[in-house]
Amino acid sequence: MQNQILKNLDLKHIWHPCTQMKDHETLPLIPIKKAKGVWLYDFDDKAYMDCVSSWWVNLFGHCNEKITNAIKKQVDELEHVILAGFTHEPIIKLSARLCEKVGRNFNKCFYADNGSSAIEVALKMSFHYHLNKGVKKSKFLSLSNSYHGETLGALSVGDVALYKDTYKALLLECLSTPVPQGKDYTKELEILKDILEKNASEICAFILEP
């Protein structure tokens, strides 16, 4: 009964992300009450295996004791402080560890709260870098069939028609190069080389997922 009540209330008040809401007229939502490890439980105590780690976020399982205890401890001391003009010990230590792990010349961390925002920051940062050098470069290069997020900049450098076609009039003009296929990617490298040579004066950055 509680499952159905929540389903009805949800459909009345929530617009779910990346979702055609009409689909839920025939494909019911699943209200989740609790979770543990890889398992999600609804209000009838029916279990569902979370095979995508809730969009890749819960990589160490739901209600991981070590993580929840650390969160509880931190919240009791400091739950949030603005990072403009202030700082705090956890983020300083995390940043130092990340830079140590990455190595090379990466010695600064800039934080965003989601993948799309991180892409937007990267686009702006690379554009601003060239601007500070006195060079105006405003084109971005990315791989074909790539996905980088749902915000306008992220959609611009992505290449999934399902997500971006509706918003084409709002998007940046970007360059695309084929994804390397198989063991012999000589052709793809030649195309990439040609694009770089022809657009070197305009390309601000090449964005790709490793």
CA-wise closest residue to 175 among 190, 192, 152: 192
Please report, in tens digits, the pLDDT of each residue of the chain (210 residues total).
789 999 999 999 999 988 889 998 888 899 999 999 999 999 999 999 999 999 888 999 999 999 999 999 999 999 999 999 999 999 999 999 999 999 888 899 999 999 999 999 999 999 999 999 999 999 999 999 999 999 999 999 999 999 999 999 999 999 999 999 888 899 999 999 999 999 999 999 999 987
State how far the alpha carbon of 31 is from the alpha carbons of 4, 25, 28, 100, 159, in Å. Answer: 9, 15, 9, 41, 33
CA-wise closest residue to 112 among 85, 62, 86, 149: 149
DSSP state of 24: G
Looking at residue 1, what is its pLDDT? 73
Q: Give φ, ψ of 36 to 5 degrees.
A: -155, 125
* Domains contained in the chain, CATH given: 2-56 (no CATH), 80-111 (no CATH), 115-207 (3.40.640.10)
Sign of torsion over alpha carbons 34, 39, 43, 44: negative
